[in-house]
């Protein structure tokens, strides 16, 4: 139900958001100045109401999730980003690099209902090109039907360098070996200032955008992210979103935007706080309002925490990601969320938010809509985690 516009504008005028409700109601694009006003305003409730309006216009009451597994195939990494707790040098304690056989074994024993494997990892130039093709082949050999969503732009950049071939040729070979789409990571925040300060060895915004453009033009769908809560300014957050929106205008290749809240534990910048629940909700709502050309906004529960992910379903998000298992990047950085959820735990979160659980595949095609109730408990394969963080 839409609230009267004049009441929304009256409130917006008092909370620094004047004119934004009218633009949202009229389906007009928000400007960078609007983006900044939204980050500066403490009226997260109004942002949530507006973002919910957009979300309901696009998706009604549906809340998507998928049944997926994570394989972080190596933590070897030469980027040494200050925000990362996952990276290791090969000789460090806890360093690992899975062989193709281990990837195969991981998938073979994984939840048989999983429709997606999410494979992202560190970057180590000594891994040869054949390794990447072999882990894709191993995943498909173990689970021929599974959708392989793998490699952030940072990994793709390294794979292209290692292969020594043009991007399109590499993409064709990765596709042949089993790659189906790509996640959104590696963008961090596009600010060159923050990159120099915290991740100078990682590619800059220009290369990230160039790769994403090439990948979309090739025909792969990807997601996009923003890692927030480090030392970026609010202007830099808006600039990041504006760059994503501009690329989406060109290519239409992004399926979903995933705002990633910085987890400080065990990182080089652990003096910074984990973003507050309100900041996490604000980031979801602003993503929905500003990125008017990206169909979905994901509340990635692993990193948001379950209570905030559930609230996000009322404030702009239409997707909870998946059941997940074996996620290491956030858990190494102190995430207190469970290792995985089963369908019923996800349905509970969604139904309590007044939404309808719909299982999707990676490309957002509907697999099952649960109007008639939840699946029987015996269909749930993985144990349910606690619903608190």
Q: Does 267 engage in binding with ligand V47 (CB under 6 A)?
A: yes
Which residue from 140, 195, 216, 263 is in contact with ligand V47, where contact means CB under 6 A? 263
Q: Does 185 engage in binding with ligand V47 (CB under 6 A)?
A: yes
Cα separation, 139 vs 155, in Å, equals 17
Query: Interaction with ligand V47 in 25-44: which residues (CB under 6 A)?
Result: none
Query: Interaction with ligand V47 in 118-157: which residues (CB under 6 A)?
Result: 120, 152
Q: Does 227 engage in binding with ligand V47 (CB under 6 A)?
A: yes
Residues touching ligand V47: how many (CB under 6 A)? 23
Q: Measured from the CB atom, is 158 or 223 closer to ligand V47?
A: 223
Residue nearest ligand V47 (C-beta atom): 185
Which residue from 156, 179, 211, 333 is in contact with ligand V47, where contact means CB under 6 A? 333
Q: Does 73 engage in binding with ligand V47 (CB under 6 A)?
A: no
Q: Does 254 engage in binding with ligand V47 (CB under 6 A)?
A: no
In the complex, the smallest distance separating the C-beta of residue 164 from ligand V47, rounded to whole angstroms, is 25
Which of these segments, 78-86, 164-172, 200-208, 308-316, binds ligand V47 (CB under 6 A)?
78-86
Q: Does 117 engage in binding with ligand V47 (CB under 6 A)?
A: no
Which residue from 100, 186, 305, 357 is in contact with ligand V47, where contact means CB under 6 A? 186
Q: Measured from the CB atom, is 61 or 82 closer to ligand V47?
A: 82
Q: Does 83 engage in binding with ligand V47 (CB under 6 A)?
A: yes
In the complex, the smallest distance separating the C-beta of residue 295 from ligand V47, rounded to whole angstroms, is 13
Q: Does 223 engage in binding with ligand V47 (CB under 6 A)?
A: yes
Q: Does 280 engage in binding with ligand V47 (CB under 6 A)?
A: no
Give every strand in the sheet of 68-71, ordered side by side.
68-71, 116-119, 147-150
Per-position x/- string for 288-327, each x denoting binding to ligand V47 as judged by CB under 6 A, each - no binding: ----------x-x--------------------x------
Pairing of strands 116-119, 366-369: unpaired
Q: Measured from the CB atom, is 121 or 238 closer to ligand V47?
A: 121
In the complex, the smallest distance separating the C-beta of residue 22 from ligand V47, rounded to whole angstroms, is 33
Q: Does 255 engage in binding with ligand V47 (CB under 6 A)?
A: no
In the complex, the smallest distance separating the C-beta of residue 151 from ligand V47, rounded to whole angstroms, is 10
Pairing of strands 356-360, 366-369: antiparallel
Q: Does 225 engage in binding with ligand V47 (CB under 6 A)?
A: yes
User: What is the 3-class SS of the chain, one letter each residue?
Assistant: CCCCHHHHHHHHHHCCCCCHHHHHHHCCCCCHHHHHHHHHCCCHHHHHHHHHHHHHHHHCCEEEEECEEEECCECECCCCCCCCCCCECCCCCCCCECCHHHHHHHHHCCCCCCCEEEECCCCCCCCCHHHHHHHHHHHHHHCCCCEEEECCHHHHHHHHHHHCCCHHHHHHHHHHHCCCEECCCCCCCCCHHHHHHHCCCCCCHHHHHHHHHHHHHHCCCEEEEEEECCCCCHHHHHHHHHHHHHHHHHHCCEEEEEEEECCCCCCCCCCCCCCCHHHHHHHHHHHHHHCCCCCEEECCHHHHCHHHHHHHCCCCCCEEEECCCCCCHHHHCCCCCCCCCCHHHHHHHHHHCCCEEEEECCCCCEEEECCCCCCCHHHCCCCCCCCCC
Judged by the rule CB under 6 A, the positions of this chain that interact with ligand V47 are 83-85, 120, 152, 183-186, 188, 223, 225, 227, 258, 260, 262-263, 267, 298, 300, 321, 329, 333
């Amino acid at each position: 139900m839409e609230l009267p516009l004049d009441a929304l504008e009256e409130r917006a005028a008092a909370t620094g958001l004047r004119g934004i409700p009218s633009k949202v109601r009229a389906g007009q694009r928000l400007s960078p100045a609007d983006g900044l006003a939204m980050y500066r305003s403490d009226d997260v409730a109004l942002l949530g109401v507006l973002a919910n309006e957009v979300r309901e216009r696009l998706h009604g009451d549906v809340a998507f999730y998928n049944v997926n597994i994570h394989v972080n195939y190596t933590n070897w990494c030469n980027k040494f980003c200050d925000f990362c707790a996952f990276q290791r040098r090969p000789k460090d304690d806890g360093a690992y690099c899975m062989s193709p056989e281990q990837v195969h074994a991981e998938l073979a024993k994984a939840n048989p209902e999983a429709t997606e494997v999410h494979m992202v990892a560190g970057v180590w130039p000594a891994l040869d090109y054949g390794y990447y093709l072999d882990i894709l082949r191993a995943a498909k050999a173990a689970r021929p039907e599974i959708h392989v969503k793998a490699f952030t732009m940072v990994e793709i950049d390294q794979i292209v360098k290692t292969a020594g071939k043009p991007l399109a040729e590499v993409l064709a070979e990765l596709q042949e070996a089993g790659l189906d789409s790509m996640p959104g990571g590696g963008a961090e925040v596009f600010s060159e200032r923050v990159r120099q300060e915290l991740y100078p060895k990682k590619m800059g915004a220009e290369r990230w955008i160039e790769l994403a453009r090439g990948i979309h033009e090739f025909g792969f769908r990807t997601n996009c992210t923003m890692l927030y809560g480090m030392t970026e300014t609010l202007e830099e957050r808006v600039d990041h979103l504006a760059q994503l929106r501009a690329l989406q205008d060109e290519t239409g290749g992004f399926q979903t935007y995933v705002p990633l809240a910085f987890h400080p534990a065990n990182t080089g910048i652990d003096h910074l706080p984990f973003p507050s629940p309100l900041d996490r909700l604000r980031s979801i709502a602003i993503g929905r309002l500003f990125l008017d050309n990206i169909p979905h906004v994901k509340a990635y529960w692993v990193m948001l925490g379950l209570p905030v992910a559930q609230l996000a379903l009322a404030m702009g998000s239409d997707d909870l990601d998946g059941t997940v298992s074996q996620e290491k990047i956030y858990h190494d950085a102190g995430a207190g969320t469970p290792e995985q959820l089963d369908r019923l735990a996800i349905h509970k979160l969604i139904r309590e938010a007044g939404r309808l659980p719909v299982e999707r595949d990676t490309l957002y095609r509907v697999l099952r809509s649960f109007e008639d109730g939840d699946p029987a408990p015996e269909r749930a394969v993985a144990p349910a985690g606690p619903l608190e963080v």
